[in-house]
Structure 1
Amino acid sequence: MKFIKSLAVASAMCALSLAGTSIASANSYERIIESGKIRISTDLAIPPSGMLDAELKPIGSDVETAKLLAEDWGLELEFIETTGATRIPNLQTDKADIVISTLSVTPQRAEVIDFSKPYAGLQSVIGAPAAAQIAGWDDIRGKTVTVTRGTTQDTELTAMAAERGFNIARYDDDATMVTAAVTGQAEMVATSATIVQQIGERNKDLAYEPKFTIRVFDLAIGVRKGEPELLEKLNEWVSANLKNGKLNDIYQKYHGTPLPAEILQ
């Protein structure tokens, strides 16, 4: 009898706990609106998506996207600084309400967070000095590819490194990864085409350039699981600002090219 009673109490407590979690998640959008502030996790060390200007103010395509969202929703914006590796943990630990930080949509990430519809695109490439004879995967066998920890490139290349016979060197953020490439410490990098271009501009002798494309990824806003209203509102916002051209203008301003046609459809 005591066992049955204890089991009943435990079951009731579990049900209440789950109900509370569900209610809290379902009301996240309302909570954000009522608080008058939205906390957005953005990497400010990954130009041109996120960076600091001469006055140490955040700028970049993701920064302007976050500002546009906050403005449209009539909210104060609080940036939660992050690195590639801490973007999803910031959501899971409730340090941030959403993530706008070159977060590409992958099946692995979709298991732990939800994604809005894509607001931008990312061309992921292998980049190396112009003199390097690299045209495909066979050419990097036995070599070391440098990545930023926790990024899509890290995840994807780690899964294929043993089979394709290359090694991986990891840095904790894009700034240190870029420095390694600019100073010649990195043999090659796996990152966005935009960052490879920036590396080339910072060291004209090495003249880093994209060698071949790994994949083109959709970039979306990251949301905690179980927040349907917030996700729906974000999807509506993305659709509206793709249609009115504002998101394309932001991307073109910082990346020098329009959004991929697939994103604009």
Structure 2
Amino acid sequence: MNPTKKIIFIATLLSAIVIQPASANALQDIQQRGELRVATDMSLPPSGMLDASMKPVGSDVETAELLAKDWGLKLKFIETTGPTRIPNLQTGKADIVISTLSVTPQRAQVIDFTRAYAGLRSVIAAPAATKISDWTDLKGHAITVTRGTTQDSMLSKDAMTKGITVQRYDDDATLVTAAVSGQAWAVATSATLVNQIKKQNPKLAFEPKMTLTVFDLAIGLKKGEPELKQKLNQWIETNLKNGKLNAIYQKYHGEPIPAEIINRK
């Protein structure tokens, strides 16, 4: 290729690159499509589950339904699992994630989060008759946890200094069985799971005794989508103030959204 033709070729290539139209942002894509695609795990009751007729129900399901209704959009659930929530978002299969997604520094490196729309209270719980008010009351006792959970990590770290023993089960179902049958003196888990234990054995009446921490549950979205994030944050703020999100949470979790979430500025 002679120099003149080479210059013309390069100029043509550059002009083609420059005039490529910018792709629409995520919010515009959603509005033009008229449909909101939400990744939600349907195997995490009471946040996401399928009823007897295989219809999605749960607190995250109703949250997504309220969002789509308020925005005048059709709603499409992208069924997901815990490990695939973020990949479904990154690959464009879902527009947002509403699926008990807690905010962590590691996740914040790869996706963006809205402000919290709900919270997950991590507690130490025991039968109503058991007197527990602080760590000294736990000394010399075994606290039951689900293996590999944040509660397991938190208690294992300080077990020696606090004088407690950590008793582990491989899944939540086994932990619940141990508590319901009276095998567990106390458990460290989510307040939501404590409510399920109480329902299965009202006589023991397991109840939260101490709060370990409150996890922010937020909507996940791709990085670099400021318009979508701002609109979502405005929607969350409005529906925390008017009580609609709290009503949904109370309906399924048996307690209100933690005050730390609602009162946060």
Same fold? TM cut 0.5: yes
CA distance in 2, matches of 1:256, 1:119: 17
Aligned residue number for residue 153 of structure 2: 158
Letter in 1 for 2:153: T
How many residues are matched? 239
TM-score by length of 2: 0.70
CA distance in 2, matches of 1:122, 1:230: 24
Aligned residue number for residue 48 of structure 1: 46
Which structure is higher in helix share?
A: 1
TM-score by length of 1: 0.70
Query: 1:196 touches 1:210 (CA, 8 Å); kept in 2?
Result: yes
1:202 aligns with 2:200: yes
Letter in 2 for 1:193: A
Q: Equivalences for 1:12-23 in 2 at 5 Å?
A: none
Unmatched runs of 5 consecutive residues or more in structure 2: 1-16
Aligned residue number for residue 120 of structure 2: 122
Q: Equivalences for 1:172-211 in 2 at 5 Å?
A: 178=176, 182=180, 189-204=187-202, 207-211=205-209
SS in 2 for 1:119: strand
Quote how far apart the aligned CAs of 1:69 are: 0.8
Q: Which has the larger radius of gyration?
A: 2
CA distance in 2, matches of 1:88, 1:170: 27
CA distance in 1, matches of 2:183, 2:87: 30
Unmatched runs of 5 consecutive residues or more in structure 1: 1-15
CA distance in 1, matches of 2:81, 2:140: 29
Quote how far apart the aligned CAs of 1:256 are: 4.0
Letter in 1 for 2:49: M
Aligned residue number for residue 74 of structure 1: 72
CA distance in 2, matches of 1:176, 1:79: 30
CA distance in 2, matches of 1:46, 1:185: 25
1:206–1:260 distance in 2 versus 1, CA, 3 Å: closer
Letter in 2 for 1:27: N
Query: 2:180 touches 2:200 (CA, 8 Å); kept in 1?
Result: yes
CA distance in 2, matches of 1:91, 1:176: 32
Query: 1:146 touches 1:186 (CA, 8 Å); kept in 2?
Result: no
CA distance in 1, matches of 2:147, 2:36: 27
Aligned residue number for residue 247 of structure 2: 249
CA distance in 1, matches of 2:80, 2:135: 31
Aligned residue number for residue 5 of structure 1: none
Percent of residue pairs identical: 61
CA distance in 1, matches of 2:86, 2:169: 18
Query: 2:64 touches 2:98 (CA, 8 Å); kept in 1?
Result: yes
